[in-house]
Amino acid sequence: MGKGNGCVPSKNGPLVTVSDTNPIPIPIPIPDQLKSKAGEISRNLRIFIVYYSMYGHVDLLAKRMKKGVDSVDGVEGVLFKVPETLPLETLEQMRVPVKDDGVPVISVEEMVEADGFLFGFPTRYGSMAAQMKSFFDSTIVLCQDQRLAGIPAGFFVSTGTQGGGQETTALTAVSVLAYHGMVYVPIGYTFGSEMSNLESIRGGSPYGAGVFSGNGSRPLSSIELDLAHHQGKYMATLLKQRSLPR
């Protein structure tokens, strides 16, 4: 990818092409392991909520988003973190709180087990934090064979200020989905009138849920948490509807 050629097809794997006999699964494929003999869904659909959180804001959004996913019958949210790339000494100097809540670190190969994704990350200079970028870079092995093609995915973010990249962070991350052939699912204005409420400060946009973290100490507002719950429920509902046999 560093040479500017995108996801170069692997020499050791099949090249995914579009034809009458080998169509790309659009918009959402139903994995064989989900189907019973009657063609019905045989297990819960799983949305992997994969995130990086430095001061805990994205972590709280992710956990509230999981509640939204789990509120839809037949769909479950699974929390995963991406690997930290900063040394412990640096994190201590930045006064980053120690995280030990039992959320596992995801591996690249585990990605193919998801039926949908919700990716969360803080903003750095208007785009995703380096930790998340590093993880996405490591998924080149999946990109080469288009193993995530057709899977729906959404974003949620954290920024320090109102002009810190609530929309640009999600928008620039869409390029990752494009190379994988994944289906981007924004929330639009489905949250209702709160999306246009100017009486209170809140993160989030039509691109996905969000939070303003300030200097890292600002608590999440109830609206920001409700928006995260809504996005989880919205994605789960959409995934379930499009995965039912037609």
pLDDT per position as a tens digit, 71-124: 999 999 999 999 998 888 888 888 888 776 789 999 999 999 999 999 999 999
> Under 8 Å CB-to-CB from 142, ≥6 apart: which residues?
108, 111, 112, 148, 180
> What is the average pLDDT value for the chain, to the nearest integer?
84
Inter-CA distances, 67 with 95, 162, 219, Å: 29, 26, 19
Does position 5 have pLDDT exceeding 70, yes or no?
no
Question: According to the model, what pLDDT value does residue 38 have?
Answer: 46
What's the CA angle centered on 58, arms 85 and 118, to 5 degrees?
A: 90
Q: What is the DSSP letter of 49?
A: E
The Cα 206–Cα 225 span in angstroms is 15
What string of DSSP letters covers 168-188? HHHHHHHHHHHHHT-EE---T
Confidence of residue 161 (pLDDT cuts 50, 70, 90): confident
- Is the pTM value of this prediction over 0.75? yes
Domains of the chain (ranges, CATH numbers): 39-243 (3.40.50.360)
pLDDT per position as a tens digit, 6-56: 676 555 554 444 444 444 444 444 444 444 444 455 679 999 999 999 888
With 0-12 / 13-18 / 19 or more C-beta atoms within 10 angstroms meaning exposed / middle / buried, residue 8 is: exposed
Instruction: For 198-208, give one letter per residue: b (16+ CB within 10 A) or e.
Output: eeeebbbbebb
Cis link prior to 27 (omega < 30° from 0)?
Answer: yes
The Cα 52–Cα 35 span in angstroms is 32
Inter-CA distances, 84 with 87, 100, 130, 138, 194, Å: 8, 13, 9, 13, 34
Residues in the chain: 246
